Amino acid sequence: MPAGQEARAAAEQRPLGNTDALARIVGGEVRRNEYGEHVAVRRWYAEPESCSPKPEALRLLAPEAASALSDPQQWLFLDTETTGLAGGTGTYAFLVGVAWWDAGGLQVEQYFMRDFGEEHSLLLALGERLRERPVLVTFNGKTFDWPLLETRYRMTRAIEAQALRAHLDLLHPARQLWRMRLQSVRLTELEKHILGWDRGPDLWSQMIPQLYFDYLRGGAAEPLADVFRHNQHDLRGLAALSGKMLSLLEEPETADCEALDLFGLSRLLRRRGEMKRSRQVYERALAAGLPGELDRAARRELARLAKRERDFGRATELWGELAGIEVGFSSAPDARLKAASTSDGEMDTALEAYEQLAMYYEHQARAPQRAAALTREALAALGEALQTGNITAAVHRKLRARLEHRLERLERLERRAGRGTTIWA
């Protein structure tokens, strides 16, 4: 007898309602459908408040699915608690939490299987909710939760996985926006630092599978209440995070946040092809003051953008700052890059700046001599960097070949220019 039928047969023997110990503890009820029973919990939260996203913000957040996302009434936030992280056919989602905007707040609903036999019933209930709201919003759900649920549906050989209209996974934009400020962009970290929430004591998520296994083997239901709470928190955090991201993206140029987040924002804009707006935010981030390494990274990226838009004034200014020389003077030997004291990334950035400046002087400013001088400086710095071990031999080889090639061409130009002078003199 298939697992579903078995469970159904067993279920018909039991009374419904919240007679179940676990259902009572978590404030839920036992529900029955054609595949048997499962426990469901419903809870409404005034916080976070429902959000109505601006199309413009949606376009920046998820360009590929902006129109599918336009109606937030179709959104279904989803987060699963599983028996492991390994994936594969032997990992189960024993608690599936979903949430949607309702009555100005957030309606959370959780489906729980008290035993494996209740999985079919749980999946059917989830499928019904997904049919009503086929736009999924998750955190890392594209890699983890949804493929796992798809596997679970396939394993039933009876219930089809609901086709999604769209799936918005907030992990990737969250990474772009906040990885620079926070080492880890796990949902709990974002909740704490971005939303400023304090969850209070929460369980250690590695414990979750074991808590469930203990319960399965006849352990008490009480410890699982923490898992339900944890899942509710995650769903609220997820919903709030989507609101936070969307409001940030409504008017990114004027968004009120700290320098590091502005930097993240400018990168996100750049990735979306919003060059002008991206530049504005880069400038704001620089003005707000970034820590050393990131300051250089931001200048480098901004310089590239400026160059691409043919704003050579701003680009050369930035490259000059990066190379540690003042642009405009014929040479500045004292300000030369101090290879010995620089780090790997700095060296790399500085060399790029030199090279870019040389290119600028060669092609835009038509000053090959200046370009050649810069290239020579870059070569000297490169040599020092190799000696001090700031770059690997392979990188050195590659960069040197490129610089020497340029210098050769520039010197040829110089010589030709030199000859020209004598002829005309």
Partner 1 sequence: MGQSLAVRTSSGLAAGVRGTIEELAARDHTGEVITAIHHIPAREAQRVAVPDWVRPELATAYAAKGVTELYTHQAAVAERVRAGRNVVVVTPTASGKTLCYNLPVLNAVLENPDTRAMYLFPTKALAQDQLAELHDLGQRLENSFGVFTYDGDTPTDARRAIREKGHIVLTNPDMLHTGILPHHTRWTRVFENLKYIVLDELHTYRGVFGSHLANVLRRLRRIARFYGSDPQFICSSATIANPGELASRLIEADVDVLDENGAPAAEKFMVFYNPPVVNRFLGIRRSCINEASRVAQEFLKRGQQTIVFANSRLHTEVMLTYLREANPVPPGQPEAIRGYRGGYLPGERREIERGLREGKIRGVVSTNALELGIDIGSLDTAVMAGYPGTIASTWQRAGRAGRRSGSSCAVLVASSAPLDQFIVKNADYFFGKSPEHGYIQPDNLEILINHLKCAAFELPLGPQEKFGDVDLPELCARLEEAGFLHRSGEHWHWTQEVYPADTISLRSVTSDNFVIIDITGEAEVIGEVDFSSALEFVHPKAIYLHEGQQYHVERLDFQERKAYVKRVDVDYYTDAVRYTQVRVLECAEHASVTGPGGRAHGDVLVRSQVVGFKKIKFFTNENVGAGRLELPENEMHTTAYWMTLERPLVESLPFPISERQAGMFGLLHALESVATLLLMCDRRDLGTAIGERPPSPNVGVEFEEAPSLEEIQNLTQRRGERRGNAETDETKEYFEPNLYLYDAYPGGIGFSEPLFRVHDLLVAKTRELIAGCSCEKGCPSCVGPAGEKHERAKEAALAILARLCEER
Site residues, partner 1 (CB under 8 A): 1, 3, 6-7, 10, 83-90, 92, 115-117, 150-151, 154-155, 157, 209-210, 213, 216-217, 393
Between CA 378 and CA 406 the distance in angstroms is: 11
Local structure of residue 100 (DSSP, 8 states): E
Smallest gap from residue 413 Cβ to partner 1 (A): 36
Taking the least distance from each CB to partner 1, the nearer of 155 and 395 is 155
Residues whose CB is less than 8 angstroms from the CB of residue 363 and which lie 6 or more positions away in sequence, other chains included: none
Q: Which is nearer to partner 1, 69 or 227 (CB)?
A: 227
Q: What's the rounded Cα separation, in Å, for the pair 134 and 118?
A: 23
Decide: 127 and 136 in contact? Cβ < 8 Å.
no
Nearer residue to partner 1 within complex by CB, 206 or 341: 206
Describe the crossing of helices 292-308 and 275-288 by its angle, rounded to 10 degrees.
150
Whole-angstrom distance, CA of residue 92 vs CA of residue 16: 25
* Smallest separation (angstroms) from partner 1 to the CB of 174: 23
Q: Which is nearer to partner 1, 94 or 100 (CB)?
A: 94
Is the CB of 83 or the CB of 280 nearer to partner 1? 83
Beta bridge partners of 39: 30, 112
Question: How many helices, marked H, and strands, marked E, lie in the chain?
Answer: 16, 7
Q: How are beta strands 29-33 and 36-45 bridged, if at all?
A: antiparallel
Cα 319 to Cα 359: distance, rounded to the nearest angstrom:
11
Min dist. Cβ of residue 156 to partner 1 (A)? 10
* Of 141 and 209, CB closest to partner 1: 209
Smallest distance, partner 1 to C-beta of residue 209, A: 5
Nearer to partner 1, 83 or 247 (CB): 83
Nearest to 214 by CA among 83, 369, 33: 83
Quote the least distance from Cβ 279 to partner 1, whole Å. 34
Instruction: Report the nearest approach of partner 1 to the CB of residue 368 (Å).
Output: 36
Nearest distance from residue 83's CB to partner 1, in Å?
7
Token representation of residue 325: 């020389």
Pairwise CA distance, residues 399 & 163, whole Å: 51
What are the backbone dihedrals phi and psi of residue 71, each rounded to the nearest 5 degrees, phi first? -105, 100
CB 394 → partner 1: shortest distance, Å?
Answer: 9
Nearer of residues 152 and 307 to partner 1, judged by Cβ:
152
CA atoms within 13 A on the CB side of 114: 22
